[in-house]
Chains A and B, each alone.
Chain A
């Protein structure tokens, strides 16, 4: 990632090297520092300070005692794990399959791709509000449709914890599936056609060409995407907040929404920060794994 294409020293005539490294060194150093000053200021004022302050807020043992004795918190941790395990993996698996579908050469498939990326291109809040209304047990589109098709009452989607959690996960997949499909599509397009031709000469077609050509070559990308997506999903506030709102009876909160709820609805920032900090034992190993993968340089992001 970082770094620049350093020219090999021999490619630069000696005189130019002197001009570059000569008397302007002092002024260069000054300008180099001046150019990074804004970012350093932003980093100190808006990353270091809030992180430090957050850790300080969430450092009292009493908050954790209150947190761990709260049945809502236990439920929230389970929800978060379910949300990550099912939401992220199902989404990425579907994205991998769909990226294969969108490799088809037909023109209607290309047109469909433009429609397919709509959920990603449209702002999240209006669509989550729309999904929230679709799931309304009485007047929502889904239950109206169930009534029209089967003359039966649909379930109260958002009034039962299991269904509300499931609906939230489906809304999450709806929103983010296009983005990851396009990532995998780019990954597939980078695989040279000759490999498939060689494989088909050896008799590998269909599923076999997927398992012995596509997947081995995409495995690293898939892993990096899983890590990155898990990290982002851990911080996802909007989906849960707007689709289920954490309800019914606070049964579908995840850590990101519970932290905000504790801090601002209960007016207890220390409790809220403690809830967020309990996500770190999951977040930090994920970040370390991701860094290792990225530093290997096999996947260029």
Chain B
């Protein structure tokens, strides 16, 4: 009896230890961001593991854009936001149109489209960066947010099509048919029957696309060049490569940039888990 109780105590002690290790492991890089952001420049270049004089001066600098590297910070936040929303809306529209046609109108050769989407899904995004750079020049989209939007929509749509197809199977076809008998044409069925019933899937995919675009670095870095058009991650990357990287400003800006997706993520977590396995955030 005592042996089994001892084992149970040891077991919960072990679980506590594992929990502690997980906590430290998870929070260390995030703690480092906060640690650097609340110090002055001189304190950053020291052997502190706690901030000796924590302050919010670097956050103030971010909000007031009072350091030359931060001069366009809010403009760049706006760019990130615009690209994210445009990618989300276009992905939803194109994905919903396509899945409606394949799953509801049963277009001939629909399987071909599904396979095309699957093929796109397994091409690593970074592998097409070099041709895309040239192609966007030939499309006349140099330094234009639409170049980045086009690329991100291309890579987000396959996921949208899978999730919509899968979710669509749970909507009975009788509903479409009833609407058809009442004289609704396919566009009306799409708008009044299909879309409202797909709402949870739309939220999940919209969040996925928004976060994909907000987090994306490589294409924004290659396709955008001026301080007025780049997104925040590109600005942070530029910051890092400058001769004297002001780490406290860099980390304060990073935190401000990381907060919106974090909030969105925790709000829509329930929806995100709908199609978790297939997507998550494609690295």
List residues of chain A with CB under 8 Å of any chain B CB.
1-5, 7, 12, 16, 19-20, 24, 27-29, 31-33, 35-36, 38-40, 42-43, 45-47, 49-51, 53-54, 57, 98, 101, 104, 106, 108-109, 112, 114-116, 118-127, 129-134, 139, 141, 144-145, 147-148, 171, 174-176, 178-179, 182-183, 186, 231-238, 242, 256, 259-260, 263-264, 269, 272-273, 276, 279, 283, 287, 290-291, 300-301
Provide the bound-state CA to CA distance between A143 and B101, in Å.
58
Residue of B23, B123, B262 ringed by the most chain A CB atoms within 10 A: B123
Instruction: Considering the complex, give the chain B residue whose CB is closest to the CB of A51.
Output: B128
Q: Give the shortest distance, in Å, between B251 (CB) and chain A (any CB).
A: 7
**A36-B98, A129-B254 are known contacts; what are 16 more A-B pairs with Cβ within 8 Å?**
A20-B180, A42-B154, A46-B151, A51-B131, A57-B134, A116-B26, A121-B262, A124-B215, A125-B254, A131-B32, A134-B29, A141-B49, A148-B47, A183-B277, A186-B273, A259-B130
B71 contacts the other chain (CB 8 A): no
Q: Which of B152-183 contact A (CB under 8 A)?
A: 153-154, 157, 161-162, 165-166, 168-170, 172-174, 177, 180-181
Main secondary structure of the interface of B (DSSP, over half): helix
Q: Give the shortest distance, in Å, between A138 (CB) and chain B (any CB).
A: 8
The answer to whether A50 touches B128, judged by C-beta atoms less than 8 angstroms apart, is yes
Q: Give the shortest distance, in Å, between B154 (CB) and chain A (any CB).
A: 4
**A242 and B32 contact, Cβ closer than 8 Å, known pairs A32-B107, A42-B157, A125-B217:** no
Q: Which of B94-108 contact A (CB under 8 A)?
A: 94-95, 97-98, 100-108
Interface pick from B62-70, B111-119, B197-205: B111-119
Q: How large is the interface on B (under 10, 10 to 19, 20 to 34, 35 or more residues)?
A: 35 or more
CB-defined contacts of B126 to chain A, threshold 8 Å? 235-237, 256, 259-260
CB-defined contacts of A141 to chain B, threshold 8 Å? 28, 31-32, 35, 49
Task: Select which of B47, B97, B265, B281 is within 8 A of A36 by beta carbon.
Answer: B97
B282 contacts the other chain (CB 8 A): yes
CB-defined contacts of A28 to chain B, threshold 8 Å? 105, 186
CB-defined contacts of B131 to chain A, threshold 8 Å? 49-51, 53-54, 57, 273
CB-defined contacts of A54 to chain B, threshold 8 Å? 127-128, 130-131
Closest 7 CB pairs of A and B: A235-B124, A126-B254, A35-B101, A31-B186, A32-B105, A32-B107, A54-B131
CB-defined contacts of B19 to chain A, threshold 8 Å? 108-109, 112
Task: Select which of B47, B128, B181 is within 8 A of A16 by beta carbon.
Answer: B181
- 9 A-B Cβ contacts within 8 A? A1-B162, A4-B165, A4-B169, A31-B185, A46-B153, A114-B266, A122-B262, A123-B258, A141-B31
